[in-house]
Structure 1
Amino acid sequence: MLKFFYTFLLMLGAVYGPVARGESVLFLNPGKTDEAFWISYAQFMQAAATDLGIDLRILYAQRMPELTVAQARLVLQGPERPDYLVFVNEQYVAPQILRLAEGSGVKLFMVNAALTANQISLLGERADLLGSLVPNDEEGGYLMLKELIRQHGPVPPGQVIELLAFSGLKITPSSQLREQGMMRALAEHPEVRLRQLVYGGWTRERAYEQAKLLLRRYPKVSLVWSANDEMAFGAMQAYSETGGVPGKDALFSAINTSPAALHAKVDGRLSVLLGGHFTLGGWALVELHDMDQGVDLSHYGGRDRRIPLLQIIDKAQARRMLDMGATPDYGVDFRRFSAKGRPTSYRYPFSLQTLMR
């Protein structure tokens, strides 16, 4: 039966790293094997693992949280357990994974979405939960709308700027936080009227169908806020079919640095692009490698950290990131970021600026 399940997981997109050399890490990737963001995320992790001598394995859950839990059960209760399990609290699966990990001997680390305040109060302290790295999702949603409004420019008194918003999933922490940031920016700009917010499920196809209806309902929309690039592309396609020109007749925004999004920023179809959080998994491996060598993260910024990775990307930076993506190891020596042997004043320089030096 166990062999059957492992075969099933492989059919759903298991990806294995190099032959074991050092500590072993398994990453439960919540995305799909054809999803640009999670592919780039895994590639950056693999580049870090290769530099650091980590045996990295990756299992994709195809956007099915129940599969993430099934994968965790097999790994945590199976005969070949990794030293470390890295996972995302996508759709709030963390409590189930923590329960499965009890007594397994596997150390845990969370990325992108950590435990919520309610989950922490219910679960309490766990010695096997080493820490977490999450991005500035709320700030990202805020900055994206602020920049859209800035680029649009002021309107005469009594006139309004019409906005459509495409969020991800109601039960995804990153989606909720980005949406909250957008609402914070909206509260600062009474001249902007949010006509409707819909949940595009992170997908181009769903956002396209939604946008076709919404653009007929609100033909004067001039700003479109999207929580990721795929939904932005769906909305842009629908807008183009109305005869409008994205980047000229209406301004579109997105989060993620997929090659398609970077090209859209360079050619002006995307007016506002934020990104940088695809690096979180790689940075997490730097910290895990340090902990494996006895480094105490509490001396170097803390075990649980929110990193301001989401930032506005201009055209020059988009071109630079396209060049970086063409380099197998992203041109980064991950070993030089280690805190081992450094004074306690050292802080991990995890940022896009660090990559683009």
Structure 2
Amino acid sequence: MQARDRLNFWLVIVALSCAGFFCQQAFALSVTFINPGRSDEAYWVAAGRAVVAAADDLGIHHEQFFAERDHLRVLEIARSIAARPKEQRPDYVMLTNDKLTLVAAVHILSPAGIKTFGAFSGLQDTERAEFGGPRTGFPLLIGTLEPRSIDAGYLTASSLIAQGLRMNLQGPDGKLHLISVAGDRSTPTSLYRNLGLRRALAEHPEVVLDQQVFGDWRRDKAAEQTAWLLRRHPDARLIWSASDQMTFGAMDALEKQGLQPGRDVLLSGINTSTEAMQAVISGRLAALAGGHFMAGAWAMVMIYDYEHGHDFADEGIELNKTMFTLFDKPATAERFLKRFGTGAIPVDFKHASKVLNPARKYYDFDFDRLLK
């Protein structure tokens, strides 16, 4: 073969390889995640990082936008995606129902032919009754996946109460007094965490819920609320919070009043930030539940399977799965930090796929398994 022929031969090979590469990219599954959290918020950063890790493992083209806790921005992002030229639109958009934005976002994306998936928080009963569910009222909303948030509220409240009784923190009336800093009044996640708290309280008539407030997931607001709650309810020795950031706000208020978290007042929280894990280890935080930051990553697995012919409807279209682990002992928190504390996601998501593992009959999204 002469030099020119060899050159032409290799040029053809390169051209074919590039064409194959671009065809592969063009036909790759693509998913966009509209992250409702702030881009500097530990929980939502971790959740987004897990989504990226799952997408990378499964060969999914992905992009992510942070709404910065602004529910109107969620809808603005959805409109911008729907307005793209057809060839630049993603196959799927992953949404949450924070501040009840899911229905509105689906209405924006569906006319553009974009399929959607609800992760972290799904439809409320009132929304389902009015509009219908996934694939019926919303044909392009293929399904939802929620962490069983009632577990988080129940696990943390039960542990908090047990420790309070063990330490004899009852008030002069012989009752154990608790105050609650909940999330918000509309997000399903917040509502179900509160139900978990109420379930634990129903099992302990010796515990009194003095008052519940809504901290809107903010540390500063929770600190302000806790300060006047403690003045109003001086016998309160337990503080249950719906997130770790609000727990830290409550701690700030306690310390300003000269009270020591973990000794004078016991606190619980939800989420798995490094700061929260360190507070469990130091004894400042009595109970913590987490692991649900993986919900978006598991949703990626379900979207991948659906796209490749294995419909998760065999388990249900609106799934509510166990994802929470209780951290109320230093050893468990230390184990979490050892595996996840660097920000890495040490999980091979291909093992979770039913398409890639035909013998798998059920999705296993229990976080405790990942720790062990």
Q: Which residue of 2 aligns with 1:256?
A: 271
Verify the 8 A CA contact 1:47 1:328 in the aligned structure 2.
Answer: no
Q: Identify if the C-alpha distance between structure 1 residues 341 and 238 changes in structure 2 by more than 3 Å, giving closer, same or farther.
A: closer
1:9-48 correspondence to structure 2 within 5 Å:
22-48=28-54
**Deviation digits for residues 133-155 of structure 1 (CA, Å, limit 9, x no counterpart):** 10111232122211111111266
Q: Which residue of 1 aligns with 2:120?
A: 112
Match of 2:32, SS state, is strand
Q: CA deviation at 1:220?
A: 2.3
Q: CA deviation at 1:342?
A: 4.5
Q: CA deviation at 1:93?
A: 1.1
Match of 1:103, SS state, is helix
Q: Which residue of the other structure, out of 42, 49, 55, is the alignment partner of 2:55?
A: 49
1:312 corresponds to 2:326: yes
Q: Which residue of 1 aligns with 2:311?
A: 296
Verify the 8 A CA contact 1:21 1:53 in the aligned structure 2.
Answer: no
Where in structure 1 do 4 or more consecutive aligned residues deviate above 3 Å? 154-158, 326-329, 341-345
1:100 corresponds to 2:108: yes
Q: CA deviation at 1:51?
A: 1.1
Code of the aligned partner of 1:150: A
- Report % sequence identity: 37
Q: Which residue of the other structure, out of 130, 135, 139, is the alignment partner of 2:147?
A: 135
Higher helix share: 2
**Deviation digits for residues 240-292 of structure 1 (CA, Å, limit 9, x no counterpart):** 12222111111100000011111111111110000011000011111111112
Q: Identify if the C-alpha distance between structure 1 residues 137 and 267 changes in structure 2 by more than 3 Å, giving closer, same or farther.
A: same
- Identify which range, 150-159 or 290-299, moves more after superposition: 150-159
Verify the 8 A CA contact 1:297 1:303 in the aligned structure 2.
Answer: yes
Code of the aligned partner of 1:70: E
Q: Which residue of 1 aligns with 2:297?
A: 282
Q: CA deviation at 1:341?
A: 5.7
Q: Identify if the C-alpha distance between structure 1 residues 211 and 328 changes in structure 2 by more than 3 Å, giving closer, same or farther.
A: closer
Match of 2:208, SS state, is strand
**Deviation digits for residues 204-226 of structure 1 (CA, Å, limit 9, x no counterpart):** 11111111112222222210000
Give TM-score scaled by structure 1 length. 0.89
**CA RMSD of the aligned region, Å?**
1.9
**Deviation digits for residues 97-148 of structure 1 (CA, Å, limit 9, x no counterpart):** 1211233221110011111122122222133111111011123212221111
Report how many aligned residue pairs link the two structures.
Answer: 338
1:146 corresponds to 2:158: yes
Code of the aligned partner of 1:311: T
**Deviation digits for residues 44-69 of structure 1 (CA, Å, limit 9, x no counterpart):** 11111111111111111111111101
Q: Which residue of the other structure, out of 193, 211, 225, is the alignment partner of 2:240?
A: 225
**How far, CA to CA, are the matches of 1:117 and 1:193 in structure 2?**
29
Give TM-score scaled by structure 2 length. 0.86
Verify the 8 A CA contact 1:142 1:184 in the aligned structure 2.
Answer: yes
Q: Which runs of 5+ in 1 are unaligned?
A: 1-18
Match of 2:105, SS state, is helix
Q: Which residue of 2 aligns with 1:7?
A: none
Code of the aligned partner of 1:169: D
